[in-house]
């Protein structure tokens, strides 16, 4: 049978000499590699004092965005929930009532929007699927928590603060 790749190598089956049977050269070679790594720069980062630089394509926690006027961009179309392969996003749509024009951009809005971070695989499909650019992924990572409920982020956790309310 012919090999699939040309990477195969013939194995040397010659008998070992005296020094090879003692395994001392192999032990010293391993110790040399160990000592070489002792004097290299450490890869560890002292977290609270030092912040690690993330890759430009890093996908962290989700954020629900607002428009320039402070209204929610999300129209509860459900495309992000459909695009999520882990089914981590759940939402319920509601109709905008009279007098809420300054809160919601469209007639329909997300009354309930939750992301289960324990199920999320941080693929970014929700960000790509959103036609209104309402959801995007930041460069922050999920903090540790001892309860499962702490990893389910609701709409109030995900929505960025109103820029007009801050001023």
Please tell me whether 74 is known to bind a ligand.
Answer: yes
Using an 8 Å Cβ cutoff, are 67 and 133 in contact?
Answer: no
Coil, helix or strand at residue 29: helix
Please tell me whether 84 is known to bind a ligand.
Answer: yes
C-alpha–C-alpha distance, residues 132 and 108, integer Å: 13
Please tell me whether 77 is known to bind a ligand.
Answer: yes
Please tell me whether 123 is known to bind a ligand.
Answer: yes
Please tell me whether 76 is known to bind a ligand.
Answer: no
Query: Residue 64: exposed, middle, or buried by beta-carbon count in 10 A (0-12, 13-18, 19+)?
Result: buried
Please tell me whether 146 is known to bind a ligand.
Answer: no
**With the CA atoms of 137, 141, 144 and 148 taken in that order, what torsion angle do they form, in degrees rounded to the nearest 10?**
20
Residue with tokens 């929505």: 159
Residues 6 or more apart from 67 whose CB is under 8 A from it?
Answer: 73, 105
Please tell me whether 72 is known to bind a ligand.
Answer: no
Please tell me whether 6 is known to bind a ligand.
Answer: no
Residue with tokens 């939402």: 91
- Residues annotated within a binding site for [4Fe-4S] cluster: 74, 77, 80, 84, 120, 123, 126, 130
Binding site as annotated, residues: 74, 77, 80, 84, 120, 123, 126, 130
């Amino acid at each position: 049978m012919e090999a699939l790749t040309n990477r195969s190598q013939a194995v040397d089956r010659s008998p070992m000499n005296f020094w090879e049977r003692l395994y001392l050269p192999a032990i010293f070679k391993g110790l040399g590699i160990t000592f070489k790594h002792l004097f290299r720069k450490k890869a560890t980062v002292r977290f609270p004092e030092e912040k690690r630089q993330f890759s430009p394509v890093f996908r962290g926690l989700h954020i629900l965005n607002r428009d320039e006027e402070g209204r929610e961009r999300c129209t509860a179309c459900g495309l992000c929930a459909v695009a999520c392969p882990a089914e981590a996003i759940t939402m319920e749509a509601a109709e905008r009532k009279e007098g809420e024009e300054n809160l919601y951009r469209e007639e329909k809005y997300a009354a309930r929007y939750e992301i289960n971070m324990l199920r999320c695989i941080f693929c970014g499909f929700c960000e790509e699927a959103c036609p209104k650019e309402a959801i995007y992924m930041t460069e922050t990572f999920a903090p540790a928590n001892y309860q499962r409920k702490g990893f389910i982020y609701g709409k109030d956790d995900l929505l960025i603060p109103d820029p007009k309310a801050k001023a």
